[in-house]
């Protein structure tokens, strides 16, 4: 019997690299917080089509969105408790609606996270170039620079990014609340912001639904905390739930407050001036407080991309653990960082920014379609959760989630239909393609697992006679080390030298050096008229009697990384051919020269 010694890991190891409640708000809620800058404006832009009569529905539409926000907040609070491993909508849908529904939810969240980064960065840079028009020609480079900065901060760990973003988040929240409170206390606007309203038209149901759907962009990011529960300090569930409730409360207060001020000060859309800027001017005037609000909004819009950096890597890890994404997405480096998830998010977002030339308006139509699909599946899954488990009060909880599923499903349909010709068709096409790709990855892992016999106990191992083939081209210290390793691996070792018929003199000198050295290992010389490395070796191996064959390829590990470009890549060529066309076990052994 063998004895296995395990080293116990301290319970709090890595906890310093995890999130507190305030840190969770700073790291995971910037997307939702920043939506105050464009959510109310999205509502007003639609309602203004019906003139004053339409703008009169700003508060009712916003309250409806706030009700949905409350439903989502309570729902995701329950999701956090039911799925402490994270995953949010993906975990709920997979467990209660089936694996395929889980993949749809996962794909929708991945799309939303990528678009959130691109839109947030583009919106922040757009606000900056509006203040400083001279920077407009450098929009794309500014976008990539902001993206690189956020990526670099997140590579230091999510707790590090949270600490870096706490101050801007606090300043922004205080600034928006100041606008709301001062505006509510004023009887007259601090500045004249009245503008001529649009001509009156009939306020139809479809217009209200479109305004509701547009305003629901403010809800993107609400799910991020539930997706990243493992990133919180212990007790993780309680801290994540508190962060979720705090986010819901703050967002509701800011949205309703801004909506009330829009109606109070009769704000209408104006080219070149945001609705939030008009509300701020009416409430605070155009002094330094106005610029504080604008600057904090610019900063938070740019940093709102951080929500995706906190949520997507954890979601990708769960998808990888379920064999739906390549397993390297499940790897974590120091500081609890999922580097591959961060790298994927950075590269895809950078591509979007370059293709869209950093123009926010080209990206916004794609935004928020995917997240409503995730919302709907999450709500529907929670309904099934209550019906199956039937805890105390399950009926009203199921009704609440059912109502939320209905609202988000309507929003998903309306947003997809209204934005379809504006680029939304890309998301409608991308979602099933992503699901198909994850299905393909899952089937590939399934085939590999079946061949490896995963889940079955194999027969006891038995020793087999083995042959080790070592390609050599010179008598050197590297050759000596390779042969020493080969002699320890197999029963029979053959050194193979591949040369060209025209190099007969050089081949003869090599044999003479080998004989003088006399390492006690059989040497075989192979000649190829086309100076190929792989074909002669493959032909030689096919002619060997059945045996357990190793091919040991010795390579130099350079002292410095830049010296890799000095290598001839013979080992890579041989290894690639052997793995594709033989069953030999390929060992690439690197020997340090220092």
The third-level CATH classification (topology) of the domain covering 466-592 is Rossmann fold (3.40.50)
- Distance from C-alpha of 319 to C-alpha of 315, rounded to nearest angstrom: 6
pLDDT reported for residue 436: 93
CB atoms within 10 A of CB 120: 32
Q: What integer pLDDT is reported at residue 12 of this predicted model? A: 46
Return the domain boundaries, the chain: 15-444, 466-592
What single string gives the DSSP state of each residue in 369-408? HHHHHHHHHHHHHHHHHHHHH--TTHHHHHHHHHHHHHHH
Mean pLDDT on 242-265: 90
257 pLDDT band, cuts 50/70/90, is very high
Tokens of 593: 């020269």
In angstroms, the CA 116 to CA 218 distance is 12
Tens of pLDDT, residue by residue over 210-231, are 788 778 777 877 877 887 788 7
pLDDT at 81: 79
pLDDT, tens digit, 9 for 90 and up, residues 303-350 = 777 777 877 887 888 888 888 888 888 776 554 456 788 888 889 989
Write down the pLDDT at residue 178: 92
Is the pLDDT at 196 greater than 70? The verdict is: no
Domains 15-444 and 466-592 share a fold: no
Q: Rounded mean pLDDT of 262-277?
A: 79
Q: What per-residue confidence (pLDDT) applies to 9?
A: 39
Q: Determine the pLDDT at residue 191.
A: 65
Please say whether the beta carbons of 76 and 226 come within 8 A.
Answer: yes
The pLDDT of residue 256: 92
Task: Compute the average pLDDT of residues 149-174.
Answer: 76
Going from the C-alpha of 567 to that of each of 383, 447, 498, the distances in angstroms are 60, 36, 18
For 87-97, what is the mean pLDDT?
Answer: 81
CATH 1.20.1740.10 holds for 15-444: yes
Average pLDDT score, the chain: 80
Half-sphere exposure of 197 (CA within 13 A, CB side): 18
User: What pLDDT sits at residue 438?
Assistant: 92
Higher pLDDT: 322 or 18? It is: 322
Kindly report the pTM of this predicted structure.
0.70
Instruction: Please state, in angstroms and rounded to a whole number, the distance separating the CA atoms of residues 107 and 110.
Output: 5
């Amino acid at each position: 019997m063998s004895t296995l010694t395990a080293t116990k890991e301290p319970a709090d190891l890595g906890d310093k690299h995890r999130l507190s409640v305030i840190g969770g708000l700073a790291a995971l809620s910037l997307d939702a917080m920043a939506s105050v800058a464009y959510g109310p404006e999205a509502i007003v832009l639609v309602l203004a089509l019906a003139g004053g009569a339409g703008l009169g529905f700003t508060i009712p539409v916003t309250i409806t969105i706030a009700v949905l926000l409350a439903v989502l907040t309570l729902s995701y609070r329950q999701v956090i408790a039911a799925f402490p491993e994270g995953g949010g909508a993906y975990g709920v849908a997979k467990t209660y609606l089936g694996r395929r529904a889980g993949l749809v939810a996962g794909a929708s969240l991945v799309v939303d996270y990528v678009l959130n980064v691109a839109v947030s960065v583009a919106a922040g840079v757009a606000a900056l170039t509006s203040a400083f028009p001279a920077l407009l020609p450098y929009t794309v480079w500014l976008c990539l620079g902001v993206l690189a900065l956020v990526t670099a901060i997140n590579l230091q760990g999510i707790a590090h990014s949270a600490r870096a973003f706490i101050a801007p988040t606090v300043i922004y929240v205080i600034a928006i609340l100041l606008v709301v409170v001062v505006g509510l206390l004023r009887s007259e606007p601090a500045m004249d912001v009245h503008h001529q309203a649009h001509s009156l038209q009939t306020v139809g149901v479809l217009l209200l639904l479109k305004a509701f759907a547009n305003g629901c962009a403010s809800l993107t990011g609400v799910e991020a905390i539930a997706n990243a529960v493992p990133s919180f300090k212990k007790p993780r569930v309680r801290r994540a739930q508190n962060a979720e409730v705090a986010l819901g409360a703050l967002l509701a207060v800011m949205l309703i407050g801004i909506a009330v001020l829009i109606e109070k000060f009769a704000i209408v859309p104006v080219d070149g001036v945001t609705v939030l800027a008009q509300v701020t001017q009416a409430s605070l005037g155009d002094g330094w407080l106005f610029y504080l609000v604008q600057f904090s909004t610019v900063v938070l819009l740019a940093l709102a991309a951080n929500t995706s950096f906190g949520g997507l890597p954890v979601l990708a890890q769960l998808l990888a653990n379920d064999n739906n994404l390549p397993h390297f997405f499940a790897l974590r480096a120091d500081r609890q960082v999922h580097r591959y998830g961060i790298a994927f998010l950075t590269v895809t977002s950078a591509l979007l920014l370059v293709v869209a030339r950093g123009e926010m308006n080209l990206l916004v139509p794609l935004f928020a379609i995917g997240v409503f699909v995730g919302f709907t599946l999450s709500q529907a899954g929670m309904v099934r959760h209550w019906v199956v488990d039937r805890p105390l009060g399950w009926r009203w909880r199921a009704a609440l989630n059912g109502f939320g599923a209905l609202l988000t499903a309507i929003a998903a349909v309306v947003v997809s239909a209204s934005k379809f010709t504006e680029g939304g068709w890309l998301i409608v096409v991308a979602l099933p393609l992503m699901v198909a790709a994850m299905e393909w990855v899952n089937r590939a892992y399934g085939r590999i697992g079946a061949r490896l016999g995963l889940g079955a106990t194999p027969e006891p191992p038995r020793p087999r006679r083995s042959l080790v083939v070592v390609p050599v081209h010179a008598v050197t210290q590297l050759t000596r080390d390779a042969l020493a390793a080969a002699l320890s691996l197999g029963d029979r070792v053959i050194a193979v030298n591949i040369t060209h018929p025209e190099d007969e003199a050089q081949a003869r000198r090599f044999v003479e050096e080998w004989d003088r050295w006399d390492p006690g290992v059989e040497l075989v010389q192979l000649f190829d008229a086309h100076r190929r490395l792989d074909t002669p070796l493959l032909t030689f191996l096919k002619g060997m009697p059945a045996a357990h064959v190793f091919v040991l390829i010795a390579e130099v590990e350079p002292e410095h990384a830049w010296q890799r470009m000095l290598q001839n890549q013979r080992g890579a060529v041989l290894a690639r051919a052997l793995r594709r066309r033989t069953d030999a076990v390929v060992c690439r052994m690197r020997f340090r020269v220092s």
